[in-house]
Structure 1
Amino acid sequence: MNSKKSSSSMASLASASLRNKNTSKIQKQLAASVLSQVNTSHQTGKAMETIASSVLNSEKYSNATKSFAGSVLAQSDKQR
């Protein structure tokens, strides 16, 4: 079990991303995952881990999207 949680600064960025109508679908998915892990013991699911990993391995995503992906992976199940 991973006890890491989203930081308040990352949660704030994720919230702003979700409110922005120009944010990409993938960034919104990652931002929602970040927000779901604030002050809870929720861990990243396998499907979201796959998405986040793909984002980090790609050149086409923004730094903000990659930051959300990194946060999501940091909160994943380390046994997988």
Structure 2
Amino acid sequence: MAKKHESSGPKVTRTASSVLRDSSASKTAKSLAGSALAQSGTRKVSSATTARTAANALNDGRTSAGTKALAGSVLTQRPGKRK
């Protein structure tokens, strides 16, 4: 069976671009945005460190909807077992 490769879609790419241009965006948001853009249209996967950052962002109640979308995209592109 062939492996399914995920990549950032156009909506996530637009969100990531906006976050990177926003001077008030958090360091976490910018990190996730950079990762999502780097994975756009490629077979690149998220690193373990980036995946942990994304998981922490999703668990933090203060995280914005845009950052959560980026975190979800980054986690989707992490290979390995999913529960």
2:50 match:
48
Q: How many aligned positions are there?
A: 80
> Does the 8 Å contact 1:2/1:43 carry over to 2?
no
TM-score by length of 1: 0.92
Q: For structure 2, which runs of at least 5 residues remain unmatched after alignment?
A: none
1:78 shift after superposition: 2.0
1:11 alignment partner, one of 13, 23, 29: 13
Q: For structure 1, which runs of at least 5 residues remain unmatched after alignment?
A: none
TM-score by length of 2: 0.89
Structure with larger RCO (C-alpha < 8 A, sep 6+): 1
Larger radius of gyration between Structure 1 and Structure 2: 2
2:38 match:
36
Runs of 4+ in 1 over 4 A off after TM superposition: none
Distance in 1 (CA, whole Å) between partners of 2:10 and 2:54 is 20
Q: Percent identity?
A: 34
